[in-house]
């Protein structure tokens, strides 16, 4: 079997550990040292669905402004650009400069180099800071920054999933705006928090590889 080759690594702020980018043939993997694989280039069906289904819910918005929390391997961004209008504005908040560099380098061809699209603006830093800075600014906020409503890679992400964080996200959305959250599995208490804040919540199960692979969850929480 072809061995994995380590291409690069990056420290995650706040004792979040170390991310490592690996390649094996045409397959790429991002792993957290001591915690296993975070994402793989062969399993992005649910990331595609996160963006596609969000944009479908915004089909009547001619000039949507979208915020994507977490660049990953670029698949969510690529899907958003594919399904959003040509007048869309897409902001990507990515905590690690190295992840942006990986997407401009070896990961770029996987998703069609979406960072080169003129509709895209990248803000390097904590997505929480970006959300806090705006009020009624976004038609959708898509969060794919951890394995779910728990700060696996960056403990400060826990705030995003707290009641205070969800209130802030609610405030940052325009009327009828959507907070879409990707998760590796269900989280009943998180759904309860979403509803307590005032979101109307829809839970959708998607697969990692189209109709195959692991079952993941996406919550589509709409502001009234």
Helix locations, 110-202, DSSP H: 127-132, 158-161, 163-172, 188-197
Give the tens place of pLDDT for each residue, 152-201.
444 556 888 999 999 999 999 999 999 999 998 888 899 999 999 999 99
Domain ranges of the chain: 43-223
Is residue 89 within 8 A of residue 215, CB to CB? The reply is: no
pTM of the model: 0.92
What three-state secondary structure class fits 161? Answer: helix
Per-residue pLDDT of the chain (224 residues), as tens digits, is: 789 999 999 998 876 689 999 999 999 999 999 888 989 999 899 999 999 999 999 999 999 999 999 999 999 999 999 999 999 999 999 999 999 999 999 999 999 999 999 999 999 999 999 999 999 999 999 998 876 786 444 455 688 899 999 999 999 999 999 999 999 888 889 999 999 999 999 999 998 776 677 888 999 999 98
Report the alpha-carbon distance of residue 139 to residue 35 in Å, rounded. 34
The counts of H helices and E strands in the chain are 7, 11
CATH 3.40.50.150 fits 43-223, yes or no: yes
What three-state secondary structure class fits 107? Answer: coil
DSSP string, 59-82: TT-SS-EEEEE--TTSHHHHHHHH
């Amino acid at each position: 079997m072809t061995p994995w080759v380590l291409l690069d690594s990056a420290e995650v702020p706040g004792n979040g550990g170390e991310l490592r980018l690996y390649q094996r043939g045409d397959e790429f993997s991002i792993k957290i040292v001591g915690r296993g694989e975070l994402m793989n280039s062969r399993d992005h069906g649910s990331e595609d669905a996160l963006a596609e289904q969000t944009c479908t819910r915004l089909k009547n918005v001619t000039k949507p402004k979208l915020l994507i929390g977490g660049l990953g391997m670029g698949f969510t961004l690529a899907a958003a650009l594919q399904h959003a209008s040509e007048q869309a504005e897409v902001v990507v908040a990515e905590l690690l400069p190295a992840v942006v560099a990986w997407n401009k380098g070896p990961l770029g061809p996987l998703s069609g180099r979406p960072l080169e699209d003129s509709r895209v603006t990248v803000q390097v830093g904590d997505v929480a800071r970006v959300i806090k800075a705006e009020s009624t600014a976004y038609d959708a906020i898509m969060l794919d920054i951890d394995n779910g409503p728990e700060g696996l890679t960056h403990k400060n992400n826990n705030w995003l999933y707290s009641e205070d964080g969800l209130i802030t996200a609610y405030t940052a959305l325009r009327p009828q705006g959507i907070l879409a959250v990707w998760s590796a599995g269900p989280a009943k208490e998180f759904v309860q928090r979403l509803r307590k804040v005032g979101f109307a919540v829809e839970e959708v199960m998607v697969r990692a590889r189209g109709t195959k692979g692991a079952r993941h969850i996406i919550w589509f929480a709409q502001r009234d």
